[in-house]
């Protein structure tokens, strides 16, 4: 017969079901890095009790298998290096992942501290305009502007980059 134990925050959990929640959490973390909030939601969806989930999360955090700081840093670095995303989008996505504001701010500072936003925008423009290579009409301008905004770049930086890109002497090969 499984033994019931008290959870520090109140309530009881069953050792066998807490271990099942813990093992399921490890399996999920083996597939991909998840934030505490994401893992909590996924375990609750699997119909583990809240007490079992909290006990499993506590153990995973204690063993450093679950770490929001590590998740935030890894996500921000991937978003910049692989996907070319801007700071604002990554900040919003970290918030949606349930990462605390201060943890997200530290990860963003580490990742974007030495990066040149203009270079990221130039790379995004080159990728977006590789077929046509130019912005001819106001509709093209609006489409590219919205694309860059969705990527998470600041409005002033996007406007400055597009203004420079529309100049007649601008050579897209130099961007």
Q: What is the pLDDT of residue 4?
A: 46
Write down the residue that tokens 């801007």 correspond to: 86
The answer on 163 and 121 residing in a single domain is yes
The answer on 74 and 58 residing in a single domain is no
- Number of domains composing the chain: 3
Domain assignment of residue 24, given as a range = 4-62
The answer on 96 and 78 residing in a single domain is yes
How does pLDDT run across 31-66, given as a tens digit for each residue? 999 999 999 999 999 989 999 999 999 999 999 999
The answer on 146 and 102 residing in a single domain is no
The answer on 56 and 75 residing in a single domain is no
The answer on 80 and 56 residing in a single domain is no
The whole-model pTM stands at 0.78
Give every residue of the chain whose pLDDT is below 50, as ranges: 1-5, 7, 9-11, 13, 169, 174-175
Q: What is the pLDDT of residue 134?
A: 74
The answer on 121 and 108 residing in a single domain is no
Q: What is the pLDDT of residue 127?
A: 86
Please tell me whether residue 34 adopts helix, strand or coil conformation: coil
The answer on 131 and 166 residing in a single domain is yes
Q: What is the pLDDT of residue 86?
A: 94
* Full DSSP string of 69-129: HHHHHHHHHHHHHTT---HHHHHHHHHHTT--HHHHHHHHHHHHTT--HHHHHHHHHHHHT
The answer on 89 and 57 residing in a single domain is no
Q: What is the pLDDT of residue 10?
A: 47
Judge whether 133 and 175 are in contact, CB under 8 Å.
Answer: no
């Amino acid at each position: 017969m499984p033994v019931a134990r008290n959870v520090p925050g109140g309530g009881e959990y069953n050792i066998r079901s807490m271990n099942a929640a813990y093992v399921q959490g490890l399996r999920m973390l083996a597939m991909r890095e998840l934030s505490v909030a994401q893992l909590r939601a996924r375990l609750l969806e699997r119909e583990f009790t809240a007490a079992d989930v909290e006990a499993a999360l506590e153990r995973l955090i204690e063993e450093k298998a679950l770490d929001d700081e590590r998740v935030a840093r890894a996500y921000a670095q991937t978003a910049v290096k692989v996907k070319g995303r801007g700071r604002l989008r990554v900040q919003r996505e970290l918030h949606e992942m349930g990462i605390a504001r201060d943890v997200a701010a530290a990860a963003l500072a580490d990742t974007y501290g030495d990066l040149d936003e203009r270079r990221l925008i130039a790379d995004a423009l080159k990728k977006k305009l590789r077929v046509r290579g130019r912005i001819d009409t106001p509709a093209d301008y609006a489409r590219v502007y919205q694309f860059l905004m969705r990527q998470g770049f600041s409005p002033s930086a996007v406007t400055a980059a597009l203004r420079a890109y529309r100049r007649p002497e601008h050579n897209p090969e130099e961007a």
